[in-house]
Amino acid sequence: MTPLQEQTYLLLKTVPPGRVTTYKALADALGTRAYRTIGQFMKRNPYAPGVPCHRVVAASGTIGGFMGKTDGKEIAKKIRLLRSEGVRIRRHRVVDFTSVVFTFQ
């Protein structure tokens, strides 16, 4: 595991239940512009659910991917996990995105 992966997973653990963050916010907080790399780290997360990759969504507020997929049962599981934490989802989008997004500031 690379140092950037370790830092990413540690940082992601600070996102509380009921909140979401973005691939971009994670990358920015880590001082990198490697947004897609952050996405790959989420796809390969060996620590789930302790490191809650389901809380990472696209900067537009759309659900994004989960477990390497962008539809099907994996996305249904991500939505279920987010809803169980109180995040409202409608049409694969986080409702009131700006009020639940966590930006590490």
- What CATH number is associated with residue 58? 1.10.10.10
Q: Which active-site residues does the annotation give?
A: 53
> What are the pLDDT digits (tens) for 54-97?
999 999 999 999 988 888 999 999 999 999 999 999 999 999 99
| pLDDT tens per residue, range 42-63 | 999 999 989 999 999 999 999 9
Nearest Cα to Cα of residue 61 among 45, 46, 82 = 82
pLDDT at 16: 97
Give the range of the structural domain holding residue 18, as residue numbers without chain letter: 3-99
Tell whether 81 is covered by a domain: yes
CA–CA dist 19, 103 (Å, integer) = 10
* The pLDDT of residue 76: 96
Whether 105 shows a pLDDT value over 90: the answer reads: no
Q: pTM of the full predicted structure?
A: 0.94
User: Are 38 and 70 spatial neighbours (Cβ–Cβ below 8 Å)?
Assistant: no
Q: Is residue 104 domain-resident?
A: no
Q: Is residue 105 part of a domain?
A: no
| Structural domain includes residue 67 | yes
pLDDT the model gives residue 38: 93
- What's the number of domains the chain is made of? 1
Residue 13 maps to a domain: yes
